[in-house]
Structure 1
Amino acid sequence: MNLESPKVTIDKSAAYIFNALTDVKNFEKLMPDNIAKFEVLDNDAFIFGLKGMPEIKLKMKDKQEFSKVILGAASDKLPFTLTGNINSLDENKSEVQLLFEGQFNPMMAMMVKGPISKFIETLAQNMGKL
Structure 2
Amino acid sequence: MNLETKKSVINKSQKDFFEYLTDLNNFEHLMPENNTKFEVDGESFIFGLKGMPEIRLVVKEKQEFNKIILGAASSKLDFSLTVNIDVVAENSCETQLLFEGDFNPMMAMMVKKPLQKFIDTLTENASKL
Instruction: Give the alignment's TM-score, normalised by structure 2.
Output: 0.97
* Cα offset, 1:16, TM superposition: 0.5
Matched positions, count? 129
Q: Counterpart amino acid of 1:17?
A: F
Q: Which moved more, 1:120-129 or 1:51-60?
A: 120-129
Question: What is the match of residue 91 of structure 1?
Answer: 90
Number of the residue aligned with 2:59: 60
Determine whether 1:9 maps to 2:6.
no
Which whole-Å CA distance do the structure 2 matches of 1:17 and 1:82 have between them?
16
- Within a 5 Å distance, the mapping from 1:1-130 to structure 2 comes to 1-42=1-42, 44-130=43-129
Contact 2:85 2:93 survives alignment (8 Å): yes
Cα distance per residue 1:62-103 (max 9 Å; x no partner)? 010110000000001111000000000111010000000000
3-state secondary structure, aligned to 1:126: helix
* Counterpart code for 1:110: M
Q: Secondary structure at the match of 2:119?
A: helix
**RMSD in angstroms over aligned alpha carbons?**
0.8
CA displacement at 1:128 relative to structure 2: 3.3
**How far apart are 1:111 and its partner, in Å?**
0.2
Secondary structure of 2:40's counterpart equals strand
CA distance in 1, matches of 2:11, 2:55: 30
CA-to-partner distance for each residue in 1:20-76, whole Å, 9 max, x for gaps?
11111110000000001101112x100000000000000000010110000000001
TM-score using structure 1 length: 0.97
CA distance in 1: counterparts of 2:6 and 2:52, whole angstroms: 23
Task: Note the residue ranges of structure 2 that are not aligned, 5 or more in a row.
Answer: none
SS at match of 2:112: helix
Q: What secondary structure is seen at the aligned counterpart in 2 of 1:110?
A: helix
